[in-house]
Structure 1
């Protein structure tokens, strides 16, 4: 079995799964999700992803019908059902199923759990990536990993049309994050990343790279930085669950980075080693 879907206790190949049209996700994007990767049928950084998942659901008053341990066991069980050991592991919870109404359904309506497993490897971190900047016009609760992803979808389309790999959002002159990732910079040996406020999603990979910086005594500055600082940085780093530490070579058609490659390589090697060790 190459891929697998799960919906409220039933599972099958993804192409065979059927979801009720009245699931509130269809009308409102009324739910939250999280995702990570597995290797050798072991899910990477699962505790941290589960914690963020429950935090996002709690901020939207969605009651997940599993304890954290039950959901972790379910995800691990699902991963073992798939032939390929290297998987993209995606899960979400929606507020429930009912006739369309903006008001929350009655408490008797249970939340719906989805799981989707597809074969995928983490990205080759030796590959340089190209970026563009886009004014951040998304809602002001970016710290919730919500299913309302239309702004990111539109940014991804603009990125594709520009022949680039990711888009960096900014609000005025302040750099926030990317459409699907976190963005940080290295300048004069200091790793600088946006604070974990309501304008960014606090990425798990972001937390791991901060941990690695501290291990190597690389100073970390979690304060806002500007577009000017971005363009003048020694390195521009993009982090996400599938690309732990990617360095940029271009933003808006202008060359960037390439001035602190030793620091980048040290972080990349450490993050890859952590992933390999945790998924043996």
Structure 2
């Protein structure tokens, strides 16, 4: 069961228009919500970010945040989703192809559920990564449909036989192709400030709160690729990856080359937030 244009429909009943600006311009926004035990995780934080992105790109949301939350909750129930994700996309609407905003158009809402198990193996065993230059636009804080650079980065990781790419701008680490990144050095947690160069991750925010509750010192400041290589621990955070350790970057082991103790503590505390 999907939600499309104000209706709950089966996938076969949905007809996407070739005039949708999301199709030919990527003119739209999205959110991915995690579902644990049949409940949407951190819904208010996701909806607040959706509202902010919509405001910044000047898409008038057709529903209030509360109404969107109710729609997604009903969608989860209709699909009997216990563990997985909900994808929500809102485009500017349908109109003949022209760069200026259409004078009159109705935003198009699409949402659906997917069964996505927790990445337990990666969480426990860790992943490998490579570094690449961050060549994306300068509004990475907005969750828009313009994801081709992220797609190319993720494919580059797979081409190199690893699972993720760590992006950097002139040697300053920003984030990854589809996640935020944090490092631990001398018992201090470092992560890039939540400015226009990274997505303000929901899981990122949860992890920072958990770190403070564990008396782990947090520094939201930039660090370099060289500092990344010298870190005691490194991990990525995200809606679908939760807290996943990075064991090796560019062929160099991070710390002991195994999930670190503070990473494991954070993982354990994170599970308590939804179990």
Give the TM interval when normalised to the shorter protein: over 0.9
The SS at the match of 1:72 is: helix
- Provide the rounded CA distance (Å) in 1 between the counterparts of 2:213 and 2:100: 48
CA contact (8 A) 1:132 1:251 kept: yes
On the 8 A contact 2:172/2:222 being kept in 1, the answer is yes
The alignment partner of 1:211 has SS state of helix
2:242 corresponds to 1:244: yes
Within the candidate set 26, 31, 35, 1:29 is matched to: 26
Question: Contact 1:155/1:179 (CA < 8 Å) preserved in 2?
Answer: yes
The alpha-carbon deviation at position 123 of structure 1 amounts to: 1.4
Give the alignment's Cα RMSD to 1 decimal.
1.3
Q: Report if the CA contact (8 A) 1:84-1:119 is conserved.
A: yes
Give the paired residue count: 272
Kindly indicate whether the alpha-carbon contact (under 8 Å) linking 1:37 and 1:122 is maintained by their aligned counterparts in 2: no
SS in 1 for 2:109: strand
Secondary structure of 1:73's aligned partner: helix
How many Å apart are 1:121 and its aligned residue? 1.7
Q: Distance in 2 between matches of 1:88 and 1:255?
A: 32
* Counterparts of 1:209 and 1:83, CA distance in 2: 28
Partner Cα distance (2:79, 2:259) in 1:
40
1:198 match: 196
Q: Any residues of structure 2 matched to 1:119-134 within 5 Å, and which?
A: 119-124=115-120, 125-134=123-132
Alignment of 1:1-280 (within 5 A): 4-106=1-103, 108-124=104-120, 125-258=123-256, 261-276=260-275
SS in 2 for 1:157: helix
Distance 1:260 1:97, change over 3 A: closer
State the secondary structure of the residue aligned to 2:273: helix
After TM superposition, give the deviation of residue 84 of structure 1 in Å. Answer: 3.4
Q: Do 1:23 and 1:97's aligned partners in 2 also have CA atoms closer than 8 Å? A: yes
**TM-score normalized with structure 1 length:** 0.94
8 Å contact 2:75–2:112 — kept in the other structure? no
Quickly say closer, same or farther: Cα 1:118–1:16, change in 2 above 3 A: farther
Structure 2: gaps spanning 5 or more residues: none
Kindly indicate whether the alpha-carbon contact (under 8 Å) linking 1:186 and 1:260 is maintained by their aligned counterparts in 2: no
Task: Kindly provide the CA deviation profile for residues 178-223 of structure 1, in whole angstroms up to 9, marking residues without a partner as x.
Answer: 0100011000000000001111001001100000011011000001
Kept after mapping to 2: 8 A contact 1:212/1:267: yes
Instruction: Give TM-score scaled by structure 2 length.
Output: 0.96
Deviation (angstroms), 1:14: 3.2
What is the Cα deviation at residue 18 of structure 1? 1.9
How far did residue 229 of structure 1 move?
A: 0.5
- Within 2, Cα distance between the matches of 1:112 and 1:95? 7
Tell me the distance in 1 between the aligned counterparts of 2:24 and 2:245: 38
